[in-house]
Amino acid sequence: MKFNLLTAREITNLVKEKKVSAYEVTKDIFSQIDRIENKIKAFLYIDRENALKQAKNIDEKIKKGEKIPYLAGVALTVKDILAVKGMETTCGSKILKRFISPYNATVINALKEAGAIIIGKANMDEFAMGSSTENSAFFTTHNPWDLERVPGGSSGGSAAAVAADETHVALGTDTGGSVRQPASFCGIVGLKPTYGRVSRYGLVAYASSLDQIGPLTKNVEDSAIMMNVISGQDKKDSTSANLEVPDYLESCKVGIKGLKIGIPNEYFIEGLDKEVKLAIDNALKLYEKMGAEIEEVSLPHTEYSLPTYYLIATAEASSNLARYDGVQYGYRTKNYTDLSSLYRKTRSEGFGSEVKRRIMLGTYALSSGYYDDYYLKAQKVRTLIKQDFDRAFEKYDVLITPTAPTPAFKLNEKVNDPLTMYLSDIYTIPVNLAGIPAISINCGYSKNNLPIGLQIIGKPFDEKTIIQAAYNFEQNSQLKKRKPDINLPEVKEEVE
């Protein structure tokens, strides 16, 4: 049996029934990585030795009759923006190359305690700034469905690893769509929780009021399982909410008859790919057959989401990234004469072009004389965007939209056109500005056999309902589940 092809739920059932050992499962995962990683390039770091040790420890517990952990034997890949003790944490940036984390993020402690086996760190756009994983300082990750296309970003390495069966589950982070958009491009499930539902302690900050950790999984059930483990208040994170966490797995047992679905007019405009629209329309027909009630709704301030996001996110980034100066940790330039030149040259050499672009934009927006015109105004518009959602949720249980305006685009297609690249996240950004939850699931394929994502948006802290809606679609869809064909010619890639 190819254990790498199974879901997390299937693996834990086999391990608990003693039909397979965690060690065997982990060995099988590494066999898949050895077979195809040179084509996908999902990982920045693979920790084979410690992963196999973790697996042996779980097997020893089972032999001794101890309680079997919730995620026993499940292979976990971590986006390289999350702190894992003893592992390099680079954020996909040269400026943090060789930085070894001295502690674990809260979500990592929770998952390790639950028995998840950390197999490595995933590639990403530098400091989570990008929509294609082409902004990594080290190399580009390839989409398993078509090696000439991007896997999405910034959690592209995590999404590609799940889609290529190099891991059972992965963690990503979502600042403006960076879990959901790569999930859409790679044909998997990506969930962005409500801001405050999951602790951000140990997440290297990009934009602190927007960042959120979320799971990338093969199906909705696994997403629910992951949320059961990582959700909850954390005293180390002042923004985490002190709210009871429901059993998300129970949400998968409930039907959706009578569910009220709103379809935002503003998401079905010029620029939406015809094949994407057709797939969403077909999905909505299925929801009607299952007993859901569907109506159109207006979110009038949607058109302002993109500029609002890029003012707020870059302003917060310019502040958060000021700590990387070559003094305490990370990269330091070799050629400097004084403290000023140390800062300037370290940052010039250590940061990539997209990070520099966003720092400059954010610094400008926060500068004297421009703060009120840009940053403050953006915060006011953000409130209007949130109020649009609040009004919609007075009537509807969930909103359904495309996740991305197109299927995965080709490598290098948008690298030299940042504005076009930014539009890749046009349907996901409003959710982050409002701080609400959303999930992306596969709802079809293009004529080029590329996955298409459907986004389900929920009320604050109501992940339960979006999981319920997503699971019912997944179980009732006549869409034949496909796997990417990775037996393709090897892609040669330059590595720094």
Question: Which residues belong to the active site?
Answer: 79, 154, 178
Q: Which pair of structure tokens corresponds to residue 423?
A: 């539009």
Nearby residues of 401 by Cβ (< 8 Å), 6 or more positions away: 263, 264, 267, 280, 427, 454, 455, 457
For residue 325, give the amino acid letter: D
The half-sphere exposure of 309 on its side-chain side, counting CA atoms within 13 A, is: 30
Peptide bond into 348 cis (omega under 30): no
Which residues on neighbouring strands pair with residue 263, listed in sequence order? 296
Q: Do the Cβ atoms of 457 and 436 come closer than 8 Å? A: yes
Smallest CA-to-CA distance from 445 within 453, 437, 456 is with 453
What are the strands, taking DSSP E only, across 341-461? 398-402, 438-445, 451-458
Residue 477 and residue 144: Cα distance in Å, rounded?
Answer: 23
Enumerate the H helices of 66-172 as residue ranges. 106-113, 156-163
Sign of CA dihedral 459, 465, 467, 470: negative
Residue 303 and residue 435: Cα distance in Å, rounded?
Answer: 17
For residue 455, give the amino acid letter: Q
Smallest CA-to-CA distance from 95 within 394, 333, 351 is with 351
Which residues on neighbouring strands pair with residue 146, listed in sequence order? 143
Residue 141 and residue 391: Cα distance in Å, rounded?
Answer: 40
Q: Quick one: residue 128, left, alpha or beta (phi over 0 = left, psi -120 to 50 = alpha)?
A: left
Residue 116 and residue 71: Cα distance in Å, rounded?
Answer: 5
